[in-house]
Chains A and B, each alone.
Chain A
Amino acid sequence: MGLVQNVIFGLVQGSYIAIAAIGFTMIYGIVNMINFAYGEYLTIGAFVGFVAATALPLPLPAAVLVAMAGAGVVSLLLAKAFFTPINHTGPVPMLLTSIGLGLVLRNVIRLGAGRSARRFDVDTVTYQFRGIPEVPIGPVDLLGDFFVTSEHLVVIGSALVVFLALHALLTRTDVGIAMRAMSDDVDLARVRGIDTQLIRNAVWVLAGMLAGLAGVLLGVQTNVSVSTGFSQILQILAAAILGGAGSPYGAIAGAYVIGLVLALSTAFLPASMTGVSSAMAFLVLVLVLLVKPSGIAGQEVREA
C-alpha cells in the first residue's frame, strides 16, 4: 500500500478522533474532569443513529442529527445525575466516578443490544487514483496507487464543518466566549457574572453532540457494537492530552498526529506488529509529555 493511501487513512481516523476529542477536552477544560465514560457516549450516539436510520427509517443526515441530539441529552442527564453533585470534590473522584459509570453504561448497552455488531446500510462510492511514481521504501511505496471512498470524504468533510462551527462558537457567541473564560479561570468568570453552571451544562450537551456525531461516523465506517466507542477512548484521550488538555484547537492537532501515527505505523511496522498500533499512540504521548508536560498547546498542568 502506498504512502498516500496511509496518509488518507490517517486523516480519516484523525477526523473522527478530532470530533470526539474536542468534546472530551472541553469537558476537561471547563468541568475540570477526565471523563473516562466518554467513549460510551460515542456508542450511545451510534446506536441512536442506527435505530433512527433503520427502525424509523430516516435518511442518514437526519439520523445523524437525531444521534447528536440523543447523545447530547444523555450526556446532560448523566452529568446532572452523577458528575454535577460531586463537582466540588476535585478531579480524582470525578475520574473514578466516570470509570464506574463507563462500566455501567457499557454493560447496560450490552444487555440491551447483545454482543453482535450491526451495519449501517449505506452505498459507498470508491474513487480510484493512480499515484505517479512507485518508489518502494521499505515495505511501502513512496506514493503509490490510492483510493478514496465517499465515506472518507464525509468523515473528513464533517470534521471540517465541526472545526469551523466550533471556531465560530468560541469567537463569535456569548456562550463560546464564556466557555473560554471559564476554561481560563472559573473564579474570575463567575465574578464577571457568568452563570458557570449554565455554561457547564452547555458544555455537556455540546460534548455529547460531538460524541454522537463521531459515534455515527465511526459506526458507518466500521460497524455499531458495544465496543464502538470504548475502542476509541484511549486514542481520544491521547489526542486531548497531546494537544494540551482543555484546548479544543490543540485537540484537533493532537487527533491528526495520533491518526497519522496509527496509520503510518501499520504501514511501516512488520505485519506481525500491527496490533501494537494503539500502543504507538501512547508512545507518542509519553514522548511528547516528557519533553513538554503540558502538551502541544496546553496550559501548565504540572502541579509540582
Chain B
Amino acid sequence: MSVSDRLPDTVGRRLPEGDGATAAAGGLLAVVVALLVAWLPVTTPIPGPLSVFVEVGVLFGLYGILVLGLDLQYGHTGLVNFGHVVFFAVGAYTVAMLSAVDSFSGVSLGYPWPLALVAGVLAAAVVGGVIGATSLRLRDDFLAIATLAAAEIFHNVTVNFDGTFGGNTGILSIPRPLDELAGDFDTALLATLVLFAGLMLLTYAALTRLTEAPYGRVLRAIRADELVTRSVGKSTLRYKMAAFVYGAALAGLAGGLFALYNGAVAPGFFTIQVTVTVWIGMLLGGAGNHRAVLGGLAIIMGLRLVSRFANEAIPVTAGTFASVRLIVVGMILVLVIRYRPAGIWGDPDELGVDT
C-alpha cells in the first residue's frame, strides 16, 4: 500500500510523506551553495555561541544519512540492524587509511580523497554484504546480535591492530577538502553544514524514490509478512540483502564524509552510542517514514544541544552529567517502545504494532 492511499483519519496524525523531487532540488542547491561559500573569497565568521549549533548541525547531517539508511533496513524492510555504527566506522577508516598523508599511526596511503570516499562506500557495502550473507537468514533478534557483535569486533580490531588502524590514537592528517578550499575555519564549518544538509536531502530524495517505487512496496511487504511475500514469487532474501547493503553503503558514505570533515578517526568516535542515538531518533520519530525519522533525530540531537547548555548552568562534574544524560536517553528508548511504539509521526497500522 502506498502512503498516498492512506485513510484521511490517519493522515492527520502524520507528517506528510516527503516529495522526492523537491528534496533533490533542495539538496543540489545546497551542495552548490556550500561549494560557493567555500570557494568564494568571502570569509564568514561564526559568532562564538552559535558555533555549537553549527557543530551539532553538521553532525545532524551525517546522522541524518545514517538514520535514513537504517530506516530503509528497519522501517521499510524490518531488518534489525543494531550495529549500524560498524558501517559508519568502516567507511571512515577506509577513507582515512587511503587518503591520510603521513599519519604517525596506522596506514596512510595518501591517495586522492574522492577515490578514498568511493572506496569507503564500497568497503561498507561489502562488509554489509558479508554480514548480511551470514545473518539475514536468522531470526530478527539474532540479526541484531550478529550486527552488534560485528561492531564490537571491528572496534576491538581497530584498537588492537595499531600498525594498521592506529590503535587508540587512530589515524590523523586526513585531508579536509573543504578547509583547503575555504581557507578559514569558520567558513569551512559553515560550508560543511550546508554541504552535509544538501547530501542528506539528496539521500532523502533517492530513498523516497526507491521506497515509493514498486520496489519499496516489496520491502514493506517483507516487513509485514515475509512468508506471504515469498509465496507470491519474490526472492525475499535478495530484497533483504539489497536493502541491507544499501543501508550499509549509506552509512559508509556518512563515515567517509565524517573522516574528511573531522580530519581524524579513532575508535572513540565509533561506539555503540552512535547506534543508540540513531535508533532512538528513528523510533521516536516513527520508523518507516523518511520525514518522521529525521524529525525524531532532530529531537534527540536537540536534547544533546540542550544538555550541553544545561551542563554549563548546573554545577556538576561532566562525568555525572554524562551519566544523567545517558539515563535520560535510555529511558526515552524504553518509554517510546512502551507507550509510543509507532513513534510520534509513525503509523501504527503500517508498522503492525498496537499502542
Contacts and interface: CB of A to CB of B under 8 A. Distances in A.
Given A89-B341, A92-B144, A108 B327 contact: yes
Interface residues of A, number: 47
Interface string A256-285: 000000000000000011011011001101
A232 to B, nearest CB: 13
A296 B305 CA distance: 48
Contact of B157 (A82, A95, A241, A279): A279
Contacts of B319: 110, 115
Interface string A68-95: 0000000000000010011001011111
A285 B149 contact: yes
Contacts of A101: 330, 334
Nearest to B338: A86
Interface stretch (A3-11, A135-143, A286-294): A286-294
B323 interface: yes
A266 to B, nearest CB: 12
B330 A103 contact: yes
Given A100-B333, A111-B323, A241-B145, A276 B157 contact: yes
Interface in A35-84: 82
B140 interface: yes
Interface residues of B, number: 47
Contact of B333 (A33, A99, A278): A99
Interface string B322-340: 0110110111111001100
A40 B146 CA distance: 20
Contacts of B146: 286, 289
Contacts of A111: 320, 323-324, 327
A85 B338 contact: yes
B28 interface: no
B141 A82 contact: no
Contact of B160 (A93, A272, A302): A272
Contact of A278 (B144, B156, B323): B156
B205 to A, nearest CB: 29
A279 B155 CA distance: 9
A237 B327 contact: no
A238 B157 CA distance: 18
A104 B139 contact: no
Contacts of A273: 160-161
Contact of B140 (A91, A99, A108): A91
B145 A237 contact: yes
Contacts of B226: 303-304
Nearest to B283: A96
A158 interface: no
A286 B141 contact: no
Contacts of B323: 107-108, 110-111
A34 interface: yes
Where chain B touches its partner, the secondary structure class is helix
B349 to A, nearest CB: 15
A95 to B, nearest CB: 5
Nearest to B150: A282
A99 B82 contact: yes
Interface string A207-234: 0000000000000000000000000001
B93 interface: no
B279 A96 contact: yes
A96 B333 contact: yes
A102 interface: yes
Contacts of A103: 276, 326-327, 329-330, 333
Contacts of A285: 149
B123 interface: no
Contacts of A33: 141
Interface string A238-265: 1001000100000000000000000000
Interface of A: 33-34, 82, 85-86, 89, 91-97, 99-104, 106-108, 110-111, 115, 234, 237-238, 241, 245, 272-273, 275-276, 278-279, 282-283, 285-286, 289-290, 293, 301-304
30 contacts: A33-B141, A34-B141, A34-B145, A85-B338, A92-B140, A93-B341, A96-B333, A97-B333, A97-B338, A100-B330, A100-B331, A103-B276, A103-B327, A104-B326, A104-B327, A104-B330, A110-B323, A111-B320, A111-B327, A272-B160, A275-B160, A276-B156, A276-B160, A286-B149, A289-B134, A301-B139, A301-B142, A303-B138, A304-B137, A304-B230
Interface of B: 80, 82, 134-135, 137-142, 144-146, 149-150, 152-153, 156-157, 159-161, 226-227, 230, 236-237, 276, 279, 283, 319-320, 323-324, 326-327, 329-334, 337-338, 341, 353-354
Given A115-B319, A282-B149, 13 more contacts: A34-B145, A86-B338, A91-B139, A92-B140, A93-B341, A97-B334, A97-B338, A99-B82, A100-B329, A104-B334, A107-B326, A278-B156, A302-B138
Q: Which 6 A-B pairs give the minimum distances between C-beta atoms?
A: A100-B333, A103-B330, A104-B330, A275-B160, A107-B323, A100-B334
